[in-house]
C-alpha cells in the first residue's frame, strides 16, 4: 500500500504541499481491499515470526540464568 501510494504521488506530484495533499488523497483511493488484505497477512506473518523468536530468546535467557546460579559451599 505505502509503495503504491508513494509511486502514484511521485508520478503526479510537483512536490508542493498543496499538490501533495491532493495526490495523497487520490493515491489512497487506489488502495483496494485486496491490497489491504495482503498487507495484513504480511504483518501477521512478521508478528508471528517475532513472537516465535522472542519466545526462543526468553527460553535462552532462562537457561543462562539457571546455569549461572551458584550453590553456596560454605
Does the global pTM surpass 0.75?
A: no
Q: For 48, how many CA atoms within 13 A lie in the half-sphere containing its CB?
A: 6
Cα separation, 27 vs 38, whole angstroms:
18
User: For 16-38, what is each residue's pLDDT tens digit?
Assistant: 888 888 888 888 888 889 988 98
User: For 37-74, what is each residue's pLDDT tens digit?
Assistant: 988 999 999 999 999 988 888 888 888 888 776 555 55
Amino acid at each position: 500500500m505505502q509503495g503504491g501510494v508513494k509511486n502514484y504521488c511521485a508520478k503526479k506530484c510537483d512536490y508542493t504541499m498543496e499538490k501533495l495533499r491532493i495526490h495523497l488523497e487520490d493515491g489512497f483511493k487506489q488502495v483496494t481491499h485486496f491490497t489491504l488484505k495482503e498487507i495484513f497477512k504480511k504483518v501477521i506473518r512478521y508478528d508471528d515470526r517475532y513472537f516465535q523468536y522472542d519466545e526462543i530468546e526468553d527460553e535462552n535467557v532462562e537457561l543462562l540464568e539457571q546455569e549461572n546460579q551458584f550453590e553456596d559451599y560454605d
